[in-house]
Structure formats: structure tokens, C-alpha cells
Amino acid sequence: MVGGVGRERSWWGWGWADEALGEAECAALAKQVRGFLVLDGDLSRPPEPAAPSPHLRPPAALQEICRVDSRTRAAHARGKAYRDVVRNLAGDLTNPPDLVAFPRSEVDITAVFDWAASVGAAVVPYGGGTSVVGGVEYRGDAPWLSLDLSMMDTVEQVDETSLAARIQAGITGPALEDQLRPYGLTLRHYPQSFEFSTLGGWLATRAGGHFATGYTHIDDAVEALRVVTPVGIGESLRVPASGAGPSPDRLWLGSEGTLGVIVAAWVRVMRRPAFRARCTVTFGGYADGVAAARDVVQAGLRPSNCRVLDPVEAMLGAGVVDGSARLLLGFESADHPVDAELARAVELCRAHGGTPEESTSDTAGEWKGAFLRAPYRRDALARLGVVVETFETACTWDRYDALHAAVIDAVTGSGVPAIATCRITHIYPDGPAPYFTVYAAGRRGAEVEIWDQLKVAASEAIATHGGTITHHHAVGRDHRRWYDRQRPEPFTLALRAAKQALDPHAILNPGVLVG
């Protein structure tokens, strides 16, 4: 997958191939890890992709938009979760797509649907391929194709009066912002996968960006959607709000390619911020930082960043070595200075024993740098045999302490030597969205088994203590068993009926959301 002049995306791991950690960096990382965990064996090396021969070929009418070469098929075989990366490193490419389609229009998509239905092939929308929950990996027995909308990547129309834009779904985050920039506008939606994920993927998975309050979910930006389904094309009315029955947009938001393929959307945009203020606050204990963050958001302040790092997260992500927790605060506006809002937030923090960091320190900057490099570091840890996994959820404040303790206990007491960190990534007046990271000692050849053990332990703890199985990573195939328990049974019946009505041949992303 060539993503720019002279640059190629990694087929087996995250991001750009030329940004993966080199041998010397991996050696330094191994030395650091050995202070916490035992490593089993030497550094593994990524193999060349060797996908088995496809079971079907595209018809003449679709050959122009399809590719069947081994590297393209391998790169579209699965997402970017730890279990995906470690299987790729082992050369496990047992079920790649038989072909990858790159439609240029809705006509192309409809043609792909018709042909797939006629030959009994599954169609799995790819987005940017950054899924970490098995959302783009087909696990059935039928032949299948990956549907990549990267050719449909244009900001088609900008309404500067209403502050909205009509944008094709295959556009990536950087391209979207580049095309809005001449208008002085921005979507301000920045998931960690921003560089590679697409607008359509954000919408189909109800993605969360990294602004802590306010418009954190892509749902909040939607004015209208246009969707291609196997039974026709649907487009919702573009209005700022409506009370006319159940919202059609809500049917397709979060549908993960099971009820149709989102091809375009009218989304709310905003003027680019001109005023910013930020501060990092130190707390002696994690609970104090959490309480301060709750007071900030319940006071009606809406910081763009309100991220609480527990002591282990602060140490690993920002080099904090004194055992303290950190609260990263930031405010921004396109209209007015925000220093007063920051000052009030700091005042609330002081009431919980918080101390603003010295101006010469830059914990927030160090943590952000480590955060952006984290997926590449995760790949290097996988090469070293370390098992790495993340779990994120959201719950109400009254349940948070018990949920947090239960998840930490579940993963560190699972029988696998492990360390766990937690940070709060998004915050609401009625509850937080905690994000856990686990580093565990692996055994060569048993990494997926250990990952499964940790995943089940953490997910059961989340479900038992009243958290959602995912706040922003989507359901995919990895979260299905807990999603099936979370949703009400009458809604399950409605979802199955919608699937049958919109996808009568059951070709769209089978195994995701519903059976």
C-alpha cells in the first residue's frame, strides 16, 4: 500500500514501514523491558507476505478496480490489533481476502455487491484498516473480498455559512484536514489512528477523537449520511436536528459495514482554533487526579484535553519517576482567549492537592510524543515476544472505583506476569472513559493464547462492573460475546431484522454485530 511518494505502509504492523523501530531501538527497548518482564527468545523479524492462492477471481467488469497480488491481499487480511500483528509476524496468512476492490463510485460498489451475492462471497469494508477488534478480518468459510474506499477521498462541498462540509468516506484524517484548511476550517476529530483511518471508518465504528469533552464522538459531527446497501442507496435529510421518528443516521452510525457502506457524509466543521492554554497538574495519588477531573467537567468547563495518567502510565509515557499522577489540561477556542477557563480548572485541582507543573517541564509534550509513537513501540514489543493489549470502556462515576480496581486485579491476577496502566481519555459530567494498557510476559508461539486469556479477564471485569464493552474501539468480532450481552433483547430482534432487510444475502461483514 503506497501512501505517498517513496513511502509504503507496513503490511504486517502499524503505519509507515520506514517508521518502525530499527534494530538498535529494539535492543534498547529490550533492555528496558527486562527490568519488568522476562523475554522469551530473540527479536523476531517480519517475513515477506505469502498469501495463498485466491479462491475466486474478479469478473471482467470489475478487473479494473480489483487487485489480487499477494502483498495487497496480505495487507487487507486483518487490522492492527496485537493479535493481528503477532500472527503476521509468525507468517500466519491462512485466510486473506481473495481480492481487494477499490471502487471509484457508488456504481462500482453496487456492482461489487451484485457480483458478491451471485458467487456467495462476503464483502468486508476496510476503511483505513486500523481496526483493533477484528472488524476487518473475515473468519468464515466463504470466499471474501476487502472493500477499500481510498479512491473516494474528496471534500466535495463546503458550506461556509452553516459551517458544514460534504465529504467522501474514503478520505483519511490528514487529507480531510488539508482540504478544509484553505477555508480556515477543521473537523477537529483526532483519533490515535488519525493518520491512516478514514471518515467512513470513524462513522461506521462511532470513533472517539482525543478531545476530552464536548464533541468527542464522531456522532456529534454528523448532519447527514449517504449509504449504499445491497437493496438501494439511502441518504438522510441534512438538517441541524430533527424530532421526526428514529434517526436514520443512528441506524448506520456504528453499523461497522454490516448494514451498508457509508460513502459520504455532511459533517459539522468549525473554525480553526486561534487561542490555546494548557497546564499539567501533579497529584500525589491517582484518586486525587480523578476527583479533580470530575470537578472540572461537572463545573461546566469543557477542556479540549482533560487526561488523567496514573503513576505507571505517567512513568512509562512521560518519564515521571516520583510515583505521582498527572492531569493534562488544555483549552482552545477560535473566538476568545481561554486563560480564565484554565485558571478556574487549576483552582479546582488545587482543592484536591494538585500542583501545577513548573513552566520548564513539559510532561504533556513528552507524553504526546510517546503516545503518537506508541503503535510502533507496540509492534517492537510484539517482535520481542511481549504481549500488549488495551481495554477501554466508560461507566458512571459511582461505579468507577470498583471497575478500575476489578480490571487491574483481573489482568494482573490472571496467572500471567503482567503490569497494567490506566489513563482517563474522555470525561463526561456523569462518568469517565478509562483506557487500560497491559504488558505481559509472552511465550513464543503462545502469544495469541495469552492475549485471549487477558482479553477475557478484563472484558468480564468491565461487563460485571457496569461498563460498556467499548467506548470508542467498536465491536468487531473480538467484542461480540460481550456486546451480545450488553444490548437489550428487543433491540437485538430489531437489528437482526434490519440486517435481513438491507442485506438479504448476508454478504456484508458477516460475524460483526449480529450472527
- DSSP helix/strand/coil, 508: strand
Residue 5 clears pLDDT 60, i.e. is over it:
no
Residue 250 clears pLDDT 60, i.e. is over it:
yes
Q: Tens digit of pLDDT for each residue in 140-191?
A: 999 999 999 999 999 999 999 999 999 999 999 999 999 999 999 999 999 9
Mean pLDDT confidence for 195-223: 93
Look at 277 and 360; give whichever has higher pLDDT.
277
Question: Per residue, what are the HEC states of 60-126?
Answer: HHHHHHEECCHHHHHHCCCCCCHHHHHHHHCCCCCCCCCEEECCCCHHHHHHHHHHHHHHCCEEEEC
Q: Tens digit of pLDDT for each residue in 103-115?
A: 999 999 999 999 9
Question: In terms of C-beta density within 10 A (0-12 exposed, 13-18 middle, 19 or more buried), how is residue 370 classed?
Answer: middle
Q: Looking at residue 3, what is its pLDDT?
A: 43
pLDDT band at 414 (very low <50, low <70, confident <90, very high): confident
- 11 within 8 A of 96, measured Cβ to Cβ: no
Mean pLDDT confidence for 494-509: 98
Q: Is CATH 3.30.465.10 the classification given to domain 155-271?
A: yes
Residue 1 clears pLDDT 50, i.e. is over it:
no
pLDDT band at 370 (very low <50, low <70, confident <90, very high): confident
Angle at 352 between CA 351 and CA 355, to 5 degrees: 85
pLDDT band at 6 (very low <50, low <70, confident <90, very high): low
Distances (CA, A) of 185 to 156, 180, 182: 14, 5, 7
Q: Looking at residue 229, what is its pLDDT?
A: 98
Helix axes 397-412, 447-464, angle to 10 degrees: 150
- Percentage above 70 pLDDT, the chain: 98
Spatial CB neighbours of 474, under 8 Å, sequence gap ≥ 6: 131, 133, 135, 204, 205, 206, 207, 254, 256
So where are the chain's domains?
2-144, 155-271, 275-464
Spatial CB neighbours of 267, under 8 Å, sequence gap ≥ 6: 164, 165, 167, 187, 199, 221, 222, 223
Q: Which CATH architecture has domain 2-144?
A: 2-Layer Sandwich (3.30)
Q: Is CATH 3.40.462.40 the classification given to domain 275-464?
A: yes
Distances (CA, A) of 168 to 96, 105, 253, 299, 512: 27, 10, 15, 38, 24
